[in-house]
């Protein structure tokens, strides 16, 4: 019986949903599977802020159009990889995780990289000399680029034995903040279809995992050469397209004070701890972030916005709300037929 641990970070809830699907399929096979939200493992804002790593689009925005007087001392990911040190705060995880046969690390894809808070966590881990088998998993809006290669290299750097990767595109959660209306039913139906596809991919991947531990013949070949070649130009234009949109259209932080109820939800939910209460008792963010969109999506009154393009626009409600919309529509259809 395999004992599996899955550690994930989720911005909009989609990666959390994917992790639950993986866990469900594993438990059907008799695995013992523990799912851990990264924010349950460690005080994420404190860990990240001690040595803040940032994606290139965040660093460029901080240099070109800083939100505050003093830019945050962000470090490039490549630089951070060259200066990896174990964080004593996480040393205890070595003994705890030695009890697992397999560990999975999951995150949304941000510019072909894991969330910076996940990267910081992995960089701070102790080195695992026992070669525990690990895999990575990710959710994205259509392209993950070299995310898998990045995770493979980083996890091997920490002494793990990397065995594979799972990824899935579900729904376009990031674009909701630019839409005047977000169709819950239509998106819910799409999520249902994508869920079936995800279950199929999980099944295939776990057949491969079975082959590693139980000797069942199976070969996990990953993406084929044609997929890789077609993906190169797509990833190139996708990356620069996202970078352009963020840097020229979305970067910023604003608040409709007449709609803000000062509930502190955005302050509590920021995984980087960058939102604070200003002198006027309203939320303020002085620095550019990774733009996980959690503050906007969790704001109960929709008072927050990033730029004029997101003022008064829709917000992503989370996968559970979308699935409920699709389920309710299905129930209504049956009642009409009866």
Contact 177, 314 (CB under 8 A): yes
Is 160's pLDDT higher than 60? yes
Q: Considering the entire predicted model, what is its pTM?
A: 0.90
User: Which letter does DSSP use for residue 310 in this model?
Assistant: G
Is 211's pLDDT higher than 90? no
pLDDT at position 233, please? 62
Residue 163 tokens read as 């065995």
Domains of the chain and any CATH numbers: 3-245 (3.40.50.360), 252-320 (3.30.70.20)
Contact 140, 170 (CB under 8 A): no
Task: Please say whether the dihedral angle defined by the alpha carbons of residues 166, 143, 308 and 277, taken in this order, is positive or negative.
Answer: positive
- 252 or 236, higher pLDDT: 252
Q: Taking residues 160-168, what's their average pLDDT? A: 94
Contact 63, 36 (CB under 8 A): no
Is 62's pLDDT higher than 80? yes
**What confidence category does residue 63 fall into, taking pLDDT thresholds of 50, 70 and 90?**
confident
pLDDT tens-place string over residues 97-126: 999 999 999 999 998 899 999 999 999 999
- 178 or 25, higher pLDDT: 25
What is the C-alpha separation between 289 and 204, in angstroms, rounded?
A: 36
Specify burial of residue 161 (Cβ count, 10 A radius: 0-12, 13-18, 19+): middle
Is 90's pLDDT higher than 90? yes
Task: Please say whether the dihedral angle defined by the alpha carbons of residues 129, 204, 37 and 56, taken in this order, is positive or negative.
Answer: positive
Is 69's pLDDT higher than 90? no
SS3 call for 307? coil
**For the chain, where are the E strands, in sequence order?**
3-8, 32-37, 53-54, 75-76, 102-108, 133-140, 161-169, 254-255, 275-277, 283-285, 304-305
């Amino acid at each position: 019986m395999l004992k599996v641990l899955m550690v994930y970070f989720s911005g909009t809830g989609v990666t959390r949903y994917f992790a639950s699907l993986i866990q469900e399929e594993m438990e059907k096979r008799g695995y013992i599977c523990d799912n851990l939200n990264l924010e349950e493992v460690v005080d994420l804002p404190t860990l990240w802020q001690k040595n803040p790593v940032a994606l290139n689009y965040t660093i460029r925005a901080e240099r070109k159009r800083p939100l505050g007087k003093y830019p945050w001392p962000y470090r490039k990911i490549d630089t951070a990889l060259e200066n990896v040190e174990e964080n004593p705060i996480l040393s205890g995880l070595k003994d705890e995780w030695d009890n697992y046969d397999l560990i999975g690390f999951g995150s949304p894809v941000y510019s072909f990289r894991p969330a910076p808070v996940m990267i910081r966590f992995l960089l701070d881990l102790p080195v695992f000399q026992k070669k525990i088998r690990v895999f990575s998993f990710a959710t994205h809006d259509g392209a993950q680029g070299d995310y898998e290669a990045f995770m493979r290299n980083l996890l091997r750097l920490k002494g793990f034995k990397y065995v594979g990767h799972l990824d899935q595109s579900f729904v376009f959660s990031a674009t909701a903040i630019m839409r005047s209306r977000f169709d819950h039913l239509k998106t819910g139906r799409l999520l249902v279809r994508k869920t079936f596809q995800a279950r199929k991919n999980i099944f295939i991947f776990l057949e491969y995992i079975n082959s590693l531990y139980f000797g069942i013949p199976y070969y996990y070949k990953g993406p084929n050469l044609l997929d890789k070649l077609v993906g190169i130009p797509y990833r190139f234009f996708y990356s620069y397209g996202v970078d352009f949109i963020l840097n020229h259209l979305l970067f910023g932080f604003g608040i409709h004070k007449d709609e803000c109820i000062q509930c502190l939800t955005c302050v509590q939910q920021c995984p980087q701890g960058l939102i604070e209460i200003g002198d006027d008792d309203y939320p303020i963010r002085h620095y550019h972030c990774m733009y996980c969109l959690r503050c906007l999506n969790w704001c109960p009154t929709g008072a927050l916005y990033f730029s004029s393009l997101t003022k008064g626009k829709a917000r992503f409600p989370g996968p559970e709300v979308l699935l409920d919309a699709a389920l309710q529509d299905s129930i209504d259809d049956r009642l009409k037929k009866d």
